[in-house]
Amino acid sequence: MPFLEFITSGDLKFILVFLVFISIASFHFIKKIQSQSDPASLERHNLKINSAAFWILISSVLSLLLGLMHSFYFIGKAGGIAPSLIFQGVSTALITPVLGISLFILCKIFSGLFNAKTTVA
């Protein structure tokens, strides 16, 4: 499945939420790079990035549960269990959580990069 089709097949509401939070994390990552000399500023930006990562992860779990609920609803409405219906519904329900977890990992990388080095005496 091509990446653009992968993104557009996900739930648009959650894709927009992910875009908002990854934008916030990217903004604070850029600010973190600009203020490398101030440890307090680094910590504040890391906190914002980690907060955005947390909300991306929570939104991913919510999208997974809603997607599975939606898929099973239509399987129940169909009156029977067709394997193709089950597999297509579950694969569609997994698109947004996969994207969300990928963005969560990206935010954690943002949080870990360019931190102040501490010296041990």
Summarize the confidence of residues 59-79 as an average pLDDT.
85
44 in a structural domain: yes
Instruction: Give the total number of structural domains in the chain.
Output: 1
119 in a structural domain: no
Cβ burial of 53 (10 Å; 0-12, 13-18, 19+) is buried
121 in a structural domain: no
pTM of the model: 0.82
120 in a structural domain: no
63 in a structural domain: yes
85 in a structural domain: yes
Model pLDDT for residues 30-49, shown as the tens digit of each residue: 999 998 888 889 999 999 99
Which pLDDT score, from 0 to 100, does residue 45 have? 94
pLDDT at residue 24 above 80? yes
Domain that holds residue 51: 3-112
33 in a structural domain: yes
68 in a structural domain: yes
Q: Measured between alpha carbons, how far is 38 from 28 in angstroms, rounded to an integer? A: 14
Which pLDDT score, from 0 to 100, does residue 28 have? 94
Which pLDDT score, from 0 to 100, does residue 108 have? 94
